[in-house]
């Protein structure tokens, strides 16, 4: 299946068939999230993977469309950071230094410019910036899944306060941005048989 075929086959599933995705396939999909590009490379997010049936059941009341949660194989929850402090940036640079075997001093200029860039942002700006990065992760996970023949439904229709409570997320420092239910489409899901509704090219694209 090529890229466009995978994207055309993809649709937002309303009901999965409850089958569990093989571990290796799940691993490949998650790697695509890990390989996502992020502004300054700071990856201001965390990716939670809900695999326990018990936890899925607990989360059902938090969703406005619960049918995906009760039938999916896994629920991926993308959490965006609300704050970036100096210790987070220090950790990032220690990691670069270790992975690339570069002395920390050689990264000083880059570190200074990142510190300046981040420090001048308000908390709202940090959070808006972090959320944008989270949606890149969402898109990569969704399309990697499509190529692996795994179905998905991106979901923003939830009560974030409920999810945060259930998953033990600290709302002072983090926020649930978006979730992705993954699994296999149920034959009963009528949406898979519907045509895609998209703007015509002349309304969507403009060549200049």
Ligand X SMILES: Cc1cc2nc3c(=O)[nH]c(=O)nc-3n(C[C@H](O)[C@H](O)[C@H](O)COP(=O)(O)O)c2cc1C
* Contacts to ligand X by CB under 6 A: 11-12, 65, 153-157, 178, 196
How far, in Å, CA of 84 to CA of 93, rounded? Answer: 14
CB of residue 98 vs ligand X: minimum separation in angstroms?
35
CB of residue 11 vs ligand X: minimum separation in angstroms? 4
Q: Which residues neighbour 113 within 8 Å (Cβ) at sequence distance 6 or greater?
A: none
Residue among 69 and 118 whose Cβ is closer to ligand X: 69
Tokens of 123: 């908390």
- What's the CA dihedral at 198, 202, 206, 208 to 10 degrees? 160
CB of 37 to ligand X, least distance (A): 18
With CB atoms as reference, the residue minimizing the distance to ligand X is 157
Q: Which is nearer to ligand X, 92 or 158 (CB)?
A: 158
Q: For the chain, give me the number of helices (H) and strands (E)?
A: 9, 4
Q: How far is C-alpha 93 from the geometric centre of its chain's CA atoms?
A: 24
Residues facing 185 on adjacent strands: 16
Is the CB of 51 or the CB of 160 nearer to ligand X?
160
* Nearer of residues 89 and 162 to ligand X, judged by Cβ: 162
Tokens of 187: 């034959």
Closest separation in Å from C-beta 118 to ligand X = 25
Between 114 and 178, whose beta carbon lies closer to ligand X? 178
Q: Considering just the CA atoms, what is the radius of gyration of the chain in Å?
A: 19
């Amino acid at each position: 299946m090529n890229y466009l075929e995978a994207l055309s086959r993809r649709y937002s599933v309303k009901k999965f068939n409850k089958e569990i995705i093989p571990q290796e396939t799940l691993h490949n999909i998650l790697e695509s999230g890990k390989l996502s590009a992020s502004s300054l490379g700071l990856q201001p997010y965390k990716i939670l993977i809900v695999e326990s049936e018990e936890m899925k059941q607990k989360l059902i009341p938090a969703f406005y469309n619960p049918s995906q949660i009760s039938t999916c194989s896994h629920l991926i929850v993308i959490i965006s950071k609300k704050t970036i402090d100096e210790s987070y940036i220090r950790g990032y640079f220690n990691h670069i230094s270790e992975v690339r075997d570069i002395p920390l001093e050689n990264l000083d200029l880059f570190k200074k410019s990142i510190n300046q860039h981040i420090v001048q942002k308000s908390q709202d700006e940090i959070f808006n910036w972090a959320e944008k990065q989270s949606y890149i992760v969402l898109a990569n996970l969704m399309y990697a899944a499509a190529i692996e023949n795994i179905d998905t439904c991106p979901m923003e229709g939830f009560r974030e306060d409920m999810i945060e409570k259930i998953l033990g997320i600290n709302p002072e420092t983090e926020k649930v941005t978006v979730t992705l239910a993954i699994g296999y489409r149920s034959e009963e899901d009528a949406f898979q048989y519907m045509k895609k509704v998209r703007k015509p090219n002349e309304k969507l694209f403009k060549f200049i």
